[in-house]
Amino acid sequence: MPTVTMTSHLYRFFPELADVELEVPAGSIADVVREIERRHPGFADYIVDEHGALRRHVLISVNDAILVDRRALSDRVSEGGTVYIFQALTGG
């Protein structure tokens, strides 16, 4: 099963995720987000918008490669893969 980790910033909003190694079924990033949302209601609202697209200041990497499909979240996560969810730093 793929594992999901995230920046400590997200743990501030979802502290129950800080103490577990989150394993989810292999599939698309959309599937991963839905599974985390099922287990921890409210999580998806923080990282995706009302259309299911990744929010502007959130990035996801799959096995150290930044997510390509920010709209449909169709990038695949294979068995044994790693998903990392983090807040992007922007500004000047």
Residues 45, 70: contact at Cβ < 8 Å?
Answer: no
Lowest mean pLDDT among 6-10, 23-27, 34-38: 6-10
Query: Which tens digits make up the pLDDT trace of 41-76?
Result: 999 999 999 999 999 999 999 999 999 999 999 999
Domain assignment present for residue 54? The answer is yes
Domain boundaries, position 41: 3-87
Residue 74 lies in a domain: yes
Number of structural domains in the chain: 1
The pTM of the full predicted model, rounded to 2 decimals, is 0.88
Residue 54 burial (CB < 10 Å; 0-12/13-18/19+)? buried
Question: 92 lies in a domain?
Answer: no
Distance, in Å, from the CA atom of 80 to the CA atom of 46, rounded to the nearest integer, reads 25
CATH number at residue 36: 3.10.20.30
